Amino acid sequence: MPTDTPQPAFVLVNPQMGENIGAAARAMWNFGLDRMRLVAPRDGWPNQSAVAMAAGAGRLLDEAQLMQTTAEAVADCTFVMATTARNRDLTKPIYAPEHAMQIARDRIAAGEKVAVLFGPERAGLENPDIALANAIISVPVNPQFASLNLAQCVLLTAYEWQRHAVEITQETVELAGGQWASQTEVQKLSEHYEERMEESGFFFPEHKAESMKLNLRNLWSRMPLTQADVRMLHGVMRQMVRWKERGD
């Protein structure tokens, strides 16, 4: 059964290749979408090529709704958007994918049913299909090569939906089981280096010593150090001192 997550229906209109349907299913499921509707697939349905390409997203194909016309596929929807590189002389609002999925989220949250139309691989959506839509989604692509693969277009739109549907962590660092070093640990590392560098005569000339030490402390504070990093750097300095003492 489809998940209970509020989401738009993705409608593939007259898709031509089973492989692209399968790839579209994978793209949808990558971002938690599982409402696929198929309008008169060229090679019939079910399609083994689609199943093979869908891999772990085969459930979407099993649950996909098969329709004969685009009008039937969007009959229960209150807001429909059509993905197309051309508006084909039809007057409609045109949204970038990011804004389109923001609108979709807001409308679905208000209780509406939203659908997104994707056209066949060769020529995209035709005017009779686009005429059923309330708005157009236009991807800002290279105008000299504006045609997107069906699965790519589904992936891009699904990604934009996910960005608005859940909180996205913009940046993270995997610590590989370690922990970030505390300010105290970094401070002790800084003091260790400063003491040994003082002994070696690094801070010269004397009137610049305080400025050089300040810059060194600032260097440590800018570095995102883990506890393992701190231990290693202490070890580096200890080994360098031992090597110097052996040389003497």
Domains and CATH numbers, the chain: 9-165 (3.40.1280.10), 183-247 (no CATH)
Question: Token match 């610049």: residue?
Answer: 208
23-27, 105-109, 217-221: which range is least confident on average? 217-221
Euclidean distance between CA atoms 154 and 14, whole angstroms: 15
Closest CA relative to residue 38, chosen from 22, 54, 56: 22
pLDDT on residue 174: 67
Task: Give burial (CB, 10 Å; 0-12/13-18/19+) of 76.
Answer: exposed
Structure confidence at residue 87 (pLDDT): 60
Q: How far apart are CA 223 and CA 137, in angstroms?
A: 43
Nearest-angstrom CA–CA distance, 156 and 72 = 25
Highest mean pLDDT among 19-28, 55-64, 160-169, 235-244: 19-28
| Range 61-72 average pLDDT | 95
**Longest distance between any two alpha carbons in the chain, whole Å:** 89
- Give the integer Cα–Cα distance in Å for 98 and 89: 23
pTM greater than the 0.85 cutoff: no
Measured CA angle at 168 (ends 163, 28), to 5 deg: 45
